[in-house]
Amino acid sequence: MMLSIIVALAFGILASWFLRNLAARAEGRVGPPLLQPLWDLLKLLSKGSVGNVAEVLPLLSLLLVMFAILNLPFFSSSGEDLIVVLYALTASSIFMTITGASSGSPFSVVGGSRELQQTILAELLFIASCFSVVALANSTSFHEIEIYHLTHGYNLLLIPAFVAMLVACQAKLRKAPFDIPDANVEVAGGPMTELSGYALAMHELTYALELYCLPMLASFIFFGTDYIASLMLSVVIIFIMGVTAATNARIRVGTSVRILFFTFILALLVTALIYIGGNLHEVVI
Amino acid sequence: MVAEKLIRKSPWIYLMGLAGCNGCDIEIAATVCPRLDPERLGVKLVSSPRHADILLVNGTVNKKLVKPLKEVYGQMADPKIVVAVGSCAISNGPFRECYNMGCRVDEVVPVSVYIPGCPPRPHAILYGIKKALEMMK
């Protein structure tokens, strides 16, 4: 139990270093040293705190992501159902959005409202792409999904759903091109503008844990992989995310909402096709 | 004590451009560009003073900017340090006899490191930041 959180933390911190280093290499820079995200975190924890923001909200967000990680299906003692994880992840990002709105700073209010627009669609997209697998396995239980992957060949309809999942991850983690909510030069860091010290560290920690949780969940749902294989697949997913982030410009919030909406329709179509296909199959038999 | 040691590993900088000629701004932009790449030292340019450890000030303090400068310094979490970049931030430079001058930067906030030059070279700015970090003990 404790071990999975520690592994998640280590993975998250290394993944955020990996993302920063990828961006640096794309710009022809050397990039930060290996443990830089860890030093940043420790420094923020040791610093004092100023500001007028509800500091309990980032903590709630962190606890919810930890809950989601404990409910991932990789250890025998851990979770059983997809709905629990989806619920915890959605609630976590909503809390993060409210953090911005809770302060009086116009920057964080603008950033928070942008994030709310984007997050709601990203969450819908995330859930819709997960449900394409649920429609195949005919159950939201992790056990049934694993059995489906063990007993069936790979359904090609899952490929567009997986792409939709990657887009959802990119938007949920606010990586370019979906980084308009916390655009540094425009809204001074968005929802995090007023956070300092401990609250900002909670936010960074939540982000690092999300970097572990989302790719692990995606690789289990779409490929039914075990723990080690999921870790390796997560590295690949994070590499794809990093390259996309380093090579894309920021897009406007209207455009990003439109892209997410069309991807959402695509994921829904895939789920509907799978559902209808499954039912037709049963009728024929 | 611990915080000071950790800040040397990850100094986050907030850039405050006062009423200067914008020359120092451009040189600071050149400092954080790929050629010198301060991110390899852990330096990060942040966009809110609440996240920052180092306040990088350039330009003169005219009458209207005395209060904002004090406010921004107050919004930074302890421990914090101020670095003045360029002749304007040190002594109001060529603008010192203008009708709208308020005072010098170090009359408003405690400055730890002065980086002279009009404008200073990017290398000098990076050296100044490094000196500021060495003073944090």
Q: Is B1 in CB contact (< 8 Å) with chain A?
A: no
pLDDT at A237: 94
Taking CA–CA distances from A195, the nearest residue in chain B reads B50
Asked whether the beta carbons of residue B48 and residue A42 sit closer than 8 angstroms, the reply is no
**E strand or H helix that includes residue B56:** strand B54-58
pLDDT band at B67 (very low <50, low <70, confident <90, very high): very high
Question: How do B113-115 and B101-103 pair as beta strands?
Answer: unpaired
Mean pLDDT of A237-254: 89
- Place A117 in a pLDDT band, splitting at 50, 70 and 90: confident
State ipTM: 0.88
Provide the mean pLDDT of chain A: 85
Q: Is A24 on the interface with B (CB under 8 A)?
A: yes
Q: What are the distances in angstroms from CA A154 to CA A74, A78, A150, A169, A224?
A: 21, 26, 10, 22, 10
Please state, in angstroms and rounded to a whole number, the distance separating the CA atoms of residues A135 and A117.
27
* CB contact B113 to A (< 8 Å): no
Residue A244's pLDDT band (cuts 50, 70, 90)? very high
- What is the rounded distance in angstroms from the CA atom of residue B87 to the CA atom of residue A273? 69
In 3D space, the residue among A265, A270, A281 whose CA is nearest the CA of residue A121 turns out to be A265
What mean pLDDT do residues B74-92 have? 89
Q: Is A212 exposed, middle or buried (0-12, 13-18, 19+ CB in 10 A)?
A: buried
CA distance A141 to chain B (A): 42
Model confidence at A75: pLDDT above 80: no
Residues of chain B positioned with their CB less than 8 A from the CB of A16? none
| CA gyration radius, chain A | 19
**C-alpha distance from B119 to closest chain A C-alpha (Å):** 23
User: Are A50 and A195 spatial neighbours (Cβ–Cβ below 8 Å)?
Assistant: no
Tell me: the pLDDT tens digits for A181-220?
A: 776 666 666 778 778 888 888 889 999 999 999 999 999 8
Find, in chain A, the residue whose alpha carbon is nearest to that of B2.
A46
Note whether A107 contacts B48, CB cutoff 8 Å.
Answer: yes
According to DSSP H, which parts of chain B are helical?
2-9, 23-31, 66-74, 86-91, 122-135
More confident residue, A80 or A238: A238
Q: Measured between beta carbons, which residues in chain A are less than 8 angstroms from residue B47? A: 184-185, 188-189, 193
A–B CB contacts, 8 A cutoff, strictly below: 84
Contact A46 B9 (CB under 8 A): no
* Omega prior to A177 cis, within 30 of 0: yes
Which residue is associated with the tokens 């789920």? A271
Q: Label residue A243 by pLDDT band (50, 70, 90).
A: very high
Long-range contacts of A233-237 (CB under 8 A, 24+ apart): A234/A11, A234/A15, A235/A15, A235/A18, A237/A166, A237/A169
